[in-house]
Chain A
């Protein structure tokens, strides 16, 4: 079946540090890949997505590249801010449309000033 594995948290970084959150997946076919972010007390917000191999999703300084050869979709940001403190979820859907998301367990990021 389809599954997503992401690095265990929590991750604590100083402001302006480089961020990487690892995500690997197992899926049949060619999934679409997503990163969602959940700020304290709020629902999930779509951060970025990629729908085919070698696509790069980007938003708010975050990037992730769909790597089919390594079945990975690692999230990166060059310089984190305190406001980036949140829980980040990697997720996939199969590429047939109208299918539920399969999520990883989430990685909590804390950025300190």
Chain B
């Protein structure tokens, strides 16, 4: 079974530029998450989708971050404009609920460096 795919793996941009990340979840997984992992910390949720609807975006800085999941499969996360503090690894995860337990599977992440 193919895992969660993400691209690009690495991105370096200057502050105030724009950047977009792509995620393809495991086939059949209805729920998709984007997490931000700052160096030395655990991942923190940015946004959660159920199919193509947003479930939770309370932690998403909406003045600069946006995300969509058209057709309920692939998702893109965009930052516009980027700030220095956005330097982090952006992780995508998808999940399937089995017997009431939600187990999330993560992609390799995109490491963003903002200069």
A residues at B contact (CB < 8 Å) = 4, 32, 34, 36, 42-46, 49, 51, 89, 91, 93, 95-101, 103-106
Cβ of A89 to closest chain B Cβ, rounded Å: 6
Which residue from B6, B40, B97, B104 sits with its C-beta under 8 Å from A101? B104
**A43-B106 contact, Cβ under 8 Å, with A98-B31, A101-B43, A105-B41:** yes
Q: Using known A-B contacts A89-B42, A98-B31, A101-B43, determine if residue A43 contacts B101 with beta carbons closer than 8 Å.
A: no
Complex formed: what's the CA distance from A99 to B56 in Å?
A: 9
Given known contacts A4-B42, A32-B102, A34-B103, what 5 new A-B pairs fall within 8 Å (CB)? A43-B6, A89-B43, A97-B102, A100-B35, A104-B42
**Total interface residues in chain B, CB < 8 Å:** 29
Which residues of the partner chain B approach A103 to less than 8 Å between Cβ atoms? 42-44
Which of B4, B102, B108 contacts A99, CB < 8 Å? B102
**Which B residues are CB-close (under 8 A) to A104?**
42
Task: Say yes or no: B42 contacts A105, CB within 8 Å.
Answer: yes
Task: Give chain B's interface secondary structure class.
Answer: strand
Q: Given A98-B55, A105-B41, are A49 and B103 neighbors across the interface (CB < 8 Å)?
A: yes
B91 touches A44 (CB 8 A): yes
Q: List 13 A-B contacts (CB under 8 A).
A: A43-B109, A44-B43, A89-B42, A96-B100, A97-B101, A97-B102, A98-B50, A100-B48, A100-B56, A101-B45, A103-B44, A105-B40, A106-B40
The CA of A98 and the CA of B53, in the complex, are separated in Å by 13
B107, CB-defined interface residue at 8 Å:
yes
Q: Decide yes or no whether B21 CB sits under 8 A from chain A.
A: no
Q: Beta-carbon contacts of B60-99 to A below 8 Å, as 1s and 0s?
A: 0000000000000000000000000000000101010100
Contact B108 A43 (CB under 8 A): yes
* B100 pairs with A97, CB closer than 8 A: yes
* A46 with B103: CB separation less than 8 A: yes
- Find out whether the CB atom of B48 lies under 8 angstroms from the CB atom of A95: no
Name the residue of chain B whose CB is nearest to the CB of A95: B100
- Cβ of B97 and Cβ of A98 under 8 Å apart? yes
Residue of B nearest to A89 (CB): B42
CB distance from A63 to the nearest CB of B (A): 18
Measured between beta carbons, the chain B residues less than 8 angstroms from A42 are: 108
